[in-house]
């Protein structure tokens, strides 16, 4: 199933959505939200990585802790949306050991000069030049002739280990020689695992549950990469559970925000940029709940202008139109404030501004993803009757008895058109005539028992702007 009106550079869901109707695919059209975060250390769920079904806030508070990010997000979410099914995933943040060094010199080899000098080079805490680090000093001894008129270096020992050196560094002391670093300090320490590792470990616990929105505070480049890797599977024909990640990015410095925008350059992610005046958990709960409700009302509706009601923004941190346009162009969902500082989620978008080849993406609207999922679920559900009950494939030109278990390309084509008509009635799609022209149904010649359907769907668009060219004359 293809979606037109979008540049070919825009991959899933822009160009094509794979839909498989077979015995392994459920036709569940429910809308689900998942909050990923971390249960409090002393909570009942602290070490439990299993997918959690949220029933009541009080039970969530007991299991995850009322001070957890999951509880705070869900608490705000449920103050607006009380009907959507919502789940939680506890990310167990692991640790690993690694060997670290301060670059303190512990061992050296020396190549001492053999030419006698008239000045004694012996000394303590003598500095050397060269190498990667700083601060190393050495104690030097010498030998001399009986008259004490000729001196040669005899030994060099470490006095001050310095820092920042690496094995192989070469240091020089005038009139003494060259020192090669052969050993530095090391110790084994426990370090936190990266977001990539933690989320890669956590996300498989979702299983085959389909989530339309996944949300949470994880917003590092590694976290976004882990989630994008996960969605690559859910949007493929092998899984078809789809989903989109919505997170929040807090920053007052616009220059830094633009630099960090590359972290969110994914078609599977949306990042709402907010100033430090606002609580990230409350913003996520408020924004995601309203997005979820509007999508369920109709996925073609524009996902914009959501009043957040989560505090006020100081005058210094309110962004003007030009700044918001810049942030939006760099991949962020933006907020706007009224004169009292009340924030509104002004515009949403996917985080990607360019595709894998570096080409500019034409359609960045968040609605496209939800429309694509709605259409995919509708067709999968609408055509599942051909799989739920045994059928025999016959050709359109065959003379057939009137029996219920025969299926032909024309019968599937007829149902595809009927389903598309319902999508038009649902205000998701348009242009039935063009859809019929491009619809193709055939018996697969290479895979026994499969019918192939190719279609182009034409998405309805939500109104986002009215451009007025006003000319004034006297």
Say if residue 103 is in the same domain as residue 86.
no
Say if residue 338 is in the same domain as residue 290.
yes
Is residue 231 a contact partner of residue 13, using CB atoms and an 8 Å limit? no
Q: What is the pLDDT of residues 23-42, one digit of tens each?
A: 655 446 789 999 999 999 99
Is residue 380 a contact partner of residue 21, using CB atoms and an 8 Å limit? yes
Dist CA 230 CA 236 (whole Å): 10
Dist CA 412 CA 406 (whole Å): 11
Is residue 289 a contact partner of residue 77, using CB atoms and an 8 Å limit? yes
Say if residue 122 is in the same domain as residue 60.
no
Choosing from 324, 345, 368, the residue where a domain stops is 368
Helices 409-425 and 366-383 meet at what angle, rounded to 10?
140
Say if residue 149 is in the same domain as residue 258.
no
On whether residue 447 sits in a domain, the answer given is no
Is residue 83 a contact partner of residue 138, using CB atoms and an 8 Å limit? no
110 phi/psi in degrees, rounded to 5: -125, 145
User: What is the three-class DSSP state of 85?
Assistant: strand
Residue (of 287, 281, 296) closest to 212 by Cα position:
296
pLDDT higher than threshold 60 for residue 1: no
**Long-range pairs for 401-404: beta carbons < 8 A, 24 or more residues apart:** none
On whether residue 241 sits in a domain, the answer given is yes
On whether residue 437 sits in a domain, the answer given is no
Q: Are strands 95-100 and 187-192 parallel, antiparallel or unpaired?
A: antiparallel
Choosing from 132, 165, 189, the residue where a domain stops is 189
184-to-98, 101, 102, 108, 130 alpha-carbon distances in Å: 16, 7, 8, 9, 16
Q: Are strands 343-347 and 304-307 parallel, antiparallel or unpaired?
A: antiparallel
Say if residue 33 is in the same domain as residue 136.
no
351-to-120, 328, 348, 454 alpha-carbon distances in Å: 68, 9, 9, 29
Dist CA 351 CA 249 (whole Å): 12
Choosing from 368, 390, 406, the residue where a domain stops is 368
Q: What is the pLDDT of residues 111-127, one digit of tens each?
A: 999 999 999 999 999 99
Say if residue 168 is in the same domain as residue 212.
no
Question: According to the model, what pLDDT value does residue 4 have?
Answer: 36
Q: What is the pLDDT of residues 237-279, one digit of tens each?
A: 778 889 999 999 999 999 999 999 999 999 999 999 999 999 9
Q: What is the pLDDT of residues 145-160, one digit of tens each?
A: 989 999 999 999 999 9
Dist CA 424 CA 458 (whole Å): 10
User: 384: which 2 tokens?
Assistant: 């599942």
CB atoms closer than 10 angstroms to residue 83? 10
In the chain, the number of structural domains is 2
Say if residue 43 is in the same domain as residue 76.
yes
On whether residue 331 sits in a domain, the answer given is yes
Owning domain of residue 175:
99-189
Q: What is the pLDDT of residues 363-393, one digit of tens each?
A: 999 999 999 999 999 999 999 999 888 999 9
Say if residue 238 is in the same domain as residue 356.
yes
Say if residue 210 is in the same domain as residue 312.
yes
On whether residue 181 sits in a domain, the answer given is yes
On whether residue 340 sits in a domain, the answer given is yes
pTM tops 0.95, yes or no = no
Q: What is the pLDDT of residues 64-78, one digit of tens each?
A: 999 999 999 999 999
Question: According to the model, what pLDDT value does residue 192 have?
Answer: 86
Dist CA 216 CA 246 (whole Å): 7
């Amino acid at each position: 199933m293809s979606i037109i009106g979008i540049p070919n550079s825009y991959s899933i869901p822009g160009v094509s959505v794979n839909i498989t109707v077979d015995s392994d695919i459920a036709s569940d059209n429910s809308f689900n939200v998942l909050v990923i975060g971390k249960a409090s250390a002393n909570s009942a769920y602290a070490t439990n990585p299993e997918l959690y079904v949220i029933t009541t806030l009080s039970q969530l508070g007991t299991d995850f802790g009322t001070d957890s990010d999951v509880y705070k997000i869900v608490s705000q979410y449920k103050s607006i949306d009380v009907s959507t099914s919502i789940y939680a995933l506890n990310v167990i943040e692991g640790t690993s050991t690694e060997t670290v060094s301060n670059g303190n010199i512990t061992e050296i080899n020396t190549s001492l000069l053999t030419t006698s000098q008239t000045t004694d080079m012996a000394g303590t805490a003598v500095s050397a030049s060269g190498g990667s680090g700083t601060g190393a000093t050495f104690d030097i001894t010498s030998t001399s002739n009986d008259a004490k008129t000729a001196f040669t270096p005899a030994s060099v020992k470490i006095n001050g280990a310095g820092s920042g050196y690496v094995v192989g560094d070469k240091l020089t002391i005038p009139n003494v020689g060259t020192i090669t670093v052969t050993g530095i300090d090391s110790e084994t320490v426990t370090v936190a695992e990266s977001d990539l590792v933690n989320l890669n470990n956590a996300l498989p616990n979702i299983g085959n549950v389909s989530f339309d929105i996944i949300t949470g505070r994880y917003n590092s480049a590694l976290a976004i990469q882990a989630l994008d890797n996960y969605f690559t599977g859910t949007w493929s024909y092998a899984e078809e559970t789809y989903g989109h990640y919505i997170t929040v990015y807090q920053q007052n410095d616009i220059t830094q925000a633009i630099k960090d925008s590359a972290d969110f350059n994914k078609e599977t992610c949306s990042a709402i940029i907010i100033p430090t005046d606002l609580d990230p958990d409350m913003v996520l709960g408020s924004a995601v709940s309203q997005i979820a409700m509007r999508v369920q009302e109709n996925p073609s509706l524009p996902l914009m202008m959501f009043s957040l009601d989560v505090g006020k923004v100081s005058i210094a941190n309110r962004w003007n139109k030009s700044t918001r346009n810049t942030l939006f162009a760099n991949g962020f969902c933006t907020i706007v404030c009224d004169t009292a500082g009340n924030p509104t989620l002004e515009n949403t978008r996917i985080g990607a501004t360019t595709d894998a080849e570096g080409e500019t993406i034409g359609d960045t609207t968040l609605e496209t993803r939800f429309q694509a999922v709605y259409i995919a679920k509708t067709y999968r559900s609408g055509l599942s009757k051909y799989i739920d009950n045994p059928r025999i494939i016959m050709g359109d030109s065959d003379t057939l008895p009137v029996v219920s278990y025969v299926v032909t390309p024309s019968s599937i084509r007829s149902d595809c058109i009927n389903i598309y008509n319902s999508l038009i009635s649902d205000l998701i799609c348009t242009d039935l005539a063009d859809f019929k022209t491009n619809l193709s149904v055939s018996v697969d010649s290479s895979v026994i028992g499969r019918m192939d359907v190719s279609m182009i769907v034409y998405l309805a668009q939500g109104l986002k702007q009215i451009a007025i060219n006003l000319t004034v004359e006297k």
